[in-house]
Amino acid sequence: MPIAASVLLTDLYQFTMLQTYHAEGMNEPAVFELFSRRLPPERGFLLAAGLEQALDFLGNLRFTAAELDWLTDCGRFRPEFVAALEGFRFTGTVDALPEGTAFFANEPVLRVTAPLPQAQLVESRLINLIHFQTLIASKAARCVLAAPDQLLVDFGMRRAHGAEAALLAARANYLAGFAGTATVLAGMQFGIPLFGTMAHSLIQAHDREEDAFERFAAAQPNNVTLLIDTYDTEAAVHKLVNLAPRLQQRGIVIKGVRIDSGDLAEHARQVRQILDKGGLSQVTILGSGDLDEHRIAELRAAGAPFNAFGIGTRLDASTDAPTLDMVYKLQEYAGRPRRKRSEGKATWPGRKQIYRRMSEEGTFVGDCLGLEDHPQPGEALLQPVMRGGQRLAPPESLAVIRERVQQQLAALPFTLRANGTDIYPVDIAPELQELAAQLDQETH
């Protein structure tokens, strides 16, 4: 399992704060909410993702003997504080948006209620897990909306930021509606369908391109997708047309070709023509190479006859918006609402809920961010998922989450689906505005 489980994957200040809470006996219930302060200009909505890994993290949180020894030896912490960490477990409550739910600025995707030290310590890794998968699922959904008729495959492992990013990006992409991934470990760990073709090196390692095609086809007769742009794309397709009858005699059918460079739209048109004239109309064309939702929209607008796209770097690093302004803030402690008032970073205090209103046709009309104990019209979106440190249900299957994403994308207002830069209406409930104003009167 390559998901780092170490509780030391956190910020040092969590431990300095915990030492203070330990010294002061500050162990009352704290309510923290995880939300995005604003959306990047390039995003009109976000898709919640990563809850499964977050719950797994909370459920398995504990210190190993080696970690406790290190904390002792590093010289920063009092022995009685380190000793108290030995039996540390997460025993709190979690409410969250089901994975695949669309959400917007200021709306909590997850709420933790637990004794202050527990709720505090988990901050850094909870953000780290939910931020990344939400980031990628949201980008992937834009690709899915841009390519409703094409099969999409995640090709991004190599330029994802490290091992965990590669693996979790494959999961996030699949949730959002991708057909699968090239990342083998994601197939083994998550059961995500795998897709793969060949690299240019296989062509180059042969003296003749047609030999490379034939030998590759013979080695996996059931899954032949050939890369045709190593030297001259159209010349390669002519070789393929010549080769096809010989392969057919051996019972091998060419399934697809991949184009990875040059003017993709122009090549795809020519390749389609040569294939069709050569009796290979069943052969599909996959495009790859620096693709994202914008490039795909251009290719579709140009009528490029692609059946599938492999999307890598720009997706798995979400290059146009590589981070979200996602934070985890204290909203209540010891039964009293709390408000951070820092300039430009003030938060909405208290234990909140998202209330979503729908049109009769099932389109999202607008949300209201309100207090949990002052319900507003609409559907309440945050669901109970953990109580007393125990999950309330087994993990959702990826199939269920994929289905939810399709429903959510279909219910988004058309302008958000189409360009993603419109602003979806999120009202702040009057009671919440009053509470914030009231807290602003207090002196600290």
Of the listed pieces 1-9, 372-380, 400-408, 418-426, which binds its own copies according to CB under 8 A? 1-9
Question: Nearest distance from residue 415's CB to its own copies, in Å?
Answer: 27
Per-residue binding string, its own copies, 319-348, x by CB under 8 A, is x--xxx-x--xx--xx---xxxxxxxx---
The answer to whether the CB of 153 falls within 8 A of the CB of 302 is no
Our finding on whether 41 is near its own copies (CB under 8 A) is: no
Per-residue binding string, its own copies, 392-431, x by CB under 8 A, is ----------------------------------------
Nearer Cβ to its own copies (165/385): 165
Question: Nearest distance from residue 410's CB to its own copies, in Å?
Answer: 29
Please, which of residues 83-122 interact with its own copies by CB under 8 A? 116, 120
Distance CA 428, CA 305 (A): 46
Q: Cα torsion at 238, 243, 247, 248 (round to 10°)?
A: 60
DSSP state letters, 127-168: HHHHHHHHHHHHHHHHHHHH-TTSEEEE--GGGSSSHHHHHH
Our finding on whether 183 is near its own copies (CB under 8 A) is: yes
Nearer Cβ to its own copies (94/122): 122
Our finding on whether 437 is near its own copies (CB under 8 A) is: no
Our finding on whether 43 is near its own copies (CB under 8 A) is: no
Altogether, the residues listed in the chain come to a count of 444
Which whole-number Å values give the CA distances from 52 to 96, 97, 190, 391, 407, in the listed order? 11, 11, 12, 10, 20
Distance CA 397, CA 404 (A): 11
Question: Nearest distance from residue 414's CB to its own copies, in Å?
Answer: 30
Nearer Cβ to its own copies (169/429): 169
Q: Output the six-digit token pair for 306.
A: 């692609």
Beta pairing partners, 357:
366
Our finding on whether 229 is near its own copies (CB under 8 A) is: yes
Our finding on whether 221 is near its own copies (CB under 8 A) is: no
Distance CA 367, CA 413 (A): 12
Smallest CA-to-CA distance from 100 within 376, 399, 328, 390 is with 399
The answer to whether the CB of 336 falls within 8 A of the CB of 29 is no
Q: Exposure string (b/e) for 51-71, b if CB count within 10 Å is 16 or more?
A: bbbbbbbbeebebeeeebeeb
Residue labelled with tokens 């389109």: 363
Nearer Cβ to its own copies (267/404): 267
Our finding on whether 6 is near its own copies (CB under 8 A) is: yes
Nearer Cβ to its own copies (28/434): 28
Distance CA 220, CA 199 (A): 15
Please, which of residues 187-206 interact with its own copies by CB under 8 A? 187-188, 194-206
Nearer Cβ to its own copies (198/428): 198
Question: Nearest distance from residue 359's CB to its own copies, in Å?
Answer: 35
Applying CB under 8 A, among 145, 247, 317, 385 the residue interacting with its own copies is 317
Please, which of residues 162-181 interact with its own copies by CB under 8 A? 162-168
- Is 322 strand, coil or helix? coil
- Provide the residue type at 434 as one letter: E
Q: Output the six-digit token pair for 282.
A: 């069943």
Question: Nearest distance from residue 1's CB to its own copies, in Å?
Answer: 9
Our finding on whether 230 is near its own copies (CB under 8 A) is: yes
Our finding on whether 160 is near its own copies (CB under 8 A) is: yes
Nearer Cβ to its own copies (227/381): 227
Our finding on whether 61 is near its own copies (CB under 8 A) is: no
Distance CA 154, CA 166 (A): 10
Per-residue binding string, its own copies, 253-292, x by CB under 8 A, is -------xxxx-----------------------------
Question: Nearest distance from residue 45's CB to its own copies, in Å?
Answer: 19
Smallest CA-to-CA distance from 3 within 153, 185, 174 is with 185
Our finding on whether 220 is near its own copies (CB under 8 A) is: yes
The answer to whether the CB of 15 falls within 8 A of the CB of 77 is yes
Q: Output the six-digit token pair for 175.
A: 């949730």
